[in-house]
Amino acid sequence: GQNIDQPTEMTATEGAIVQINCTYQTSGFNGLFWYQQHAGEAPTFLSYNVLDGLEEKGRFSSFLSRSKGYSYLLLKELQMKDSASYLCAPMDSNYQLIWGAGTKLIIKP
Amino acid sequence: GAVVSQHPSRVICKSGTSVKIECRSLDFQATTMFWYRQFPKQSLMLMATSNEGSKATYEQGVEKDKFLINHASLTLSTLTVTSAHPEDSSFYICSARDGTSGGADTGELFFGEGSRLTVL
């Protein structure tokens, strides 16, 4: 079956760095997306990885290891507005995104 | 990036009535749109895949006759919740894949703002 595993909740301090891990099992693989979702709002795109390695985009970076079925999202210089849920979503062989429940990130001053 | 507009953002209706939610791609053509439902503190659940000019493909467990989807043009898909009941109260979100080469290469989805439905 298809499965996504992320921590349910994480807490970090403003200005710090946090890494949100994601392991997945899918039927085929066509890349992995990370989305940010604030409470009551729709998800917004953060990153897409299809090859192994690290993709850096400003304060956010995303890493992928296809052989391990593993990805992480790294957030640097945390700001209060980064408090949100972070959704790891791999794409299967049918180009369908598989959604997990996400990781709720709480930023404290 | 591409913009997807969803309307209405909030709707309250009486049990037994029907509600229509619109999803528009404003600056790109979307041959495929997706409709999701999200209950509080749960993940997005794909309800159906809407293809322009053809019938929608529904996920297992989603009632076709209750959730009517119409994708009449390359920029508009609608979801109608028929005979709504309190258990249909949820956050409904649409997304679309840009049909141009850039969007198609990455498969990136662009999401509407979401519609919160409350059935009394």
Percentage of residues in chain B having pLDDT higher than 70: 91
Which chain A residue lies closest to B107 (C-alpha atoms)?
A95
Residue bearing tokens 């940010």: A36
Report pLDDT for B86: 95
Taking residues B17-24, report their average pLDDT. Answer: 96
Report pLDDT for B102: 45
Report pLDDT for B99: 63
Report pLDDT for B103: 44
Per DSSP bridges, beta strands B90-97 and B109-111 are antiparallel
Higher pLDDT, A78 or B31: A78
Report pLDDT for B107: 59
Q: Is the Cβ–Cβ distance between A102 and A7 less than 8 Å?
A: no
Report pLDDT for B104: 42
Q: How many CB atoms lie within 10 A of CB A3?
A: 12
- Cβ–Cβ below 8 Å for A99 and B93: no
Report pLDDT for A42: 84
Nearest-CB residue to A95 (from B41, B43, B107): B107
Higher pLDDT, A96 or A87: A87
pLDDT in tens, A29-68: 989 999 999 988 888 889 989 899 999 989 999 999 999 9
Highest mean pLDDT among A32-36, A69-73, B25-29, B96-100: A69-73
The overall average pLDDT reported for chain B is 87
Which residues on chain B are in Cβ contact (under 8 Å) with A96? 46, 49
- Cβ–Cβ below 8 Å for B112 and A42: yes
* Distance between start and end Cα atoms, chain A: 40
pLDDT band at B67 (very low <50, low <70, confident <90, very high): very high
pLDDT at A70 over 90: yes
Report pLDDT for A83: 97
pLDDT at B106 over 70: no
Query: Which pair of structure tokens corresponds to residue A79?
Result: 């700001």
Which chain B residue lies closest to A85 (C-alpha atoms)?
B41
The overall average pLDDT reported for chain A is 93
pLDDT at A71 over 80: yes
Higher pLDDT, A93 or B87: B87
Round to whole Å and give the CA distance between B95 and A18.
28
Which residues on chain A are in Cβ contact (under 8 Å) with B114? 40-42
Q: A29 — contact with chain B (CB < 8 Å)?
A: no
Q: Which amino acid is at A68?
A: K
Which chain A residue lies closest to B10 (C-alpha atoms)?
A40
- Cβ–Cβ below 8 Å for A101 and B42: yes
pLDDT at A92 over 70: yes
pLDDT band at B1 (very low <50, low <70, confident <90, very high): low
Which residues on chain B are in Cβ contact (under 8 Å) with A97? 46, 107, 109
pLDDT at B2 over 50: yes
> B108: left (phi > 0), else alpha (psi -120 to 50), else beta?
beta
- Cβ–Cβ below 8 Å for A101 and B43: yes
Q: Which residues of B79-105 are buried (b: 16+ CB within 10 A; e: fewer)?
A: bebeebeeebbbbbbbbbbbbeeebee
